[in-house]
């Protein structure tokens, strides 16, 4: 199916070596995206990806403070990242499935589902809790993504002559490339479709970045929901995701980004506040 995509392959490009390291920030969203992305591997592989990201973050903190990790520090970093990744997963798993989501998925009539969705507020943690625990409802989870770019930018590649002679300024071709890339980032649309299904039912929760970041709906940030109760076959629902701007018949669910519940930890070998 054309809709199904894995994470984009890494691309080679210019390597900038003269930029000083930035102070790393505690990521509020990363763990949710990693653990909810079934396309990035099995659950064990996703936990490993989260661990590796946390390990890189700890290294960045050390380097920000002018410390180059030695072997003992690397071992300490590895085990601390392993423990933290497991703790994050356990916290999200133990969050369980929100009672209102259980009621929504248990509805037997469209009118009932629309009523429940209209009073429901969902957070990132609620969504990941549903993904990690949907087997308790007898459902399987699948994630599909589709990105729409502005016409003529699908195969956009950096020019060979990106940097002018001397290495300090962009060429005209380089300037055009970055202008085009800016256009791509402001105009692209990426849809995330979470499907929960078994042989008797299917449920879609889907959104793009504008839905969860831009208050273009009177109720604010939101996600979209539809299910088998709409009387539309699953295959026909998927067709509505193949065209930019098209959406299957759905109802809105208010969406709130969950905030971090723990502050950044000091880097290994440094006291808090150092």
Average pLDDT of 125-149? 87
Residue 228, pLDDT above cutoff 90: yes
Residues 132 and 223 in one domain: yes
Count of alpha carbons within 13 angstroms of residue 245, beta-carbon side:
2
Residues 253 and 119 in one domain: yes
Does a structural domain hold residue 180? no
Residues contacting residue 121 through CB under 8 Å, at least 6 positions apart: 253, 254, 255, 256
Residues 211 and 103 in one domain: yes
Q: According to the model, what pLDDT value does residue 145 have? A: 79
Residues 32 and 125 in one domain: no
Instruction: Say how many domains are in the chain.
Output: 2
Can you give the pTM of this predicted structure?
A: 0.64
Does a structural domain hold residue 6? no
Residues contacting residue 274 through CB under 8 Å, at least 6 positions apart: 65, 266
Residues 81 and 118 in one domain: no
Cα 78 from Cα 56, distance rounded (Å): 10
Query: Distance of alpha carbon 95 from its chain centroid, rounded?
Result: 18
Is the four-CA dihedral 259, 207, 193, 121 of positive or negative sign? positive
Does a structural domain hold residue 158? no
**pLDDT tens digit string along 52-67?**
888 888 988 888 888 8
Residue where a domain stops, chosen among 95, 125, 141: 95
Residues 221 and 124 in one domain: yes
Q: Which stretches of the chain are DSSP H helices?
A: 30-36, 43-64, 71-95, 99-106, 110-119, 124-133, 172-187, 209-213, 234-239
**pLDDT tens digit string along 7-38?**
333 333 333 333 344 444 434 446 766 776 65
Does a structural domain hold residue 253? yes
Does a structural domain hold residue 268? no
Distance of CA 54 to CAs 7, 215, 238, 257, Å? 19, 32, 35, 21
Does a structural domain hold residue 126? yes
Cα 52 from Cα 30, distance rounded (Å): 12
Residues 122 and 209 in one domain: yes
- The whole-chain average pLDDT of the chain stands at 75
Does a structural domain hold residue 17? no
Residues 81 and 113 in one domain: no
How would DSSP label each residue in 216-260?
Answer: -STT-SEEEEEEGGG---HHHHHHTTSSTT---S-EEEEEEPPPP
Residues 129 and 247 in one domain: yes
Residue 116 lies in domain: 96-149+188-260
| Whether the Cβ atoms of residue 101 and residue 122 lie closer than 8 Å to each other | yes
Residues 112 and 217 in one domain: yes
Residues 214 and 78 in one domain: no
Count of alpha carbons within 13 angstroms of residue 97, beta-carbon side:
18
**pLDDT tens digit string along 110-128?**
999 999 999 999 998 899 8
Residue 155 pLDDT grade (very low, low, confident, very high; cuts 50, 70, 90)? low
| Whether the Cβ atoms of residue 212 and residue 257 lie closer than 8 Å to each other | yes
């Amino acid at each position: 199916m054309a809709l199904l995509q894995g994470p984009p392959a890494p691309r080679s490009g210019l390597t900038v070596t003269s930029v000083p390291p930035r102070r790393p920030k505690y990521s509020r969203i990363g763990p949710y995206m990693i653990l909810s992305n079934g396309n990035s591997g099995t659950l064990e592989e996703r936990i490993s990806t989260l661990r590796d990201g946390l390990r890189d973050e700890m290294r960045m903190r050390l380097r920000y403070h002018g410390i180059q990790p030695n072997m003992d520090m690397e071992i300490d970093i590895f085990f601390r990242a392993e423990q933290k990744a497991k703790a994050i997963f356990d916290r999200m798993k133990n969050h369980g499935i929100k009672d209102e989501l259980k009621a929504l998925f248990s509805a037997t009539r469209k009118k009932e589902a629309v009523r429940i969705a209209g009073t429901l507020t969902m957070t990132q943690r609620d969504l990941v809790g549903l993904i990690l625990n949907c087997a308790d409802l007898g459902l399987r989870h699948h994630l599909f993504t589709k990105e729409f770019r502005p016409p003529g930018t699908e195969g956009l590649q950096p020019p060979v002559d990106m940097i002018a002679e001397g290495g300090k300024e962009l060429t005209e071709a380089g300037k055009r490339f970055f202008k085009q890339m800016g256009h791509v980032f402001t105009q692209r649309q990426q849809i995330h479709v979470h499907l929960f299904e078994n042989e008797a039912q299917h449920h879609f929760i889907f959104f793009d970045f504008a839905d969860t970041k831009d208050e273009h709906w009177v109720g604010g940030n939101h996600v979209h929901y539809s299910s088998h109760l709409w009387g539309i076959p699953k295959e026909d629902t998927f067709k509505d995701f193949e065209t930019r701007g098209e959406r299957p018949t759905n109802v809105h669910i208010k969406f709130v980004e969950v905030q971090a519940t723990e502050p950044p930890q000091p880097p290994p070998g440094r006291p808090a506040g150092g």
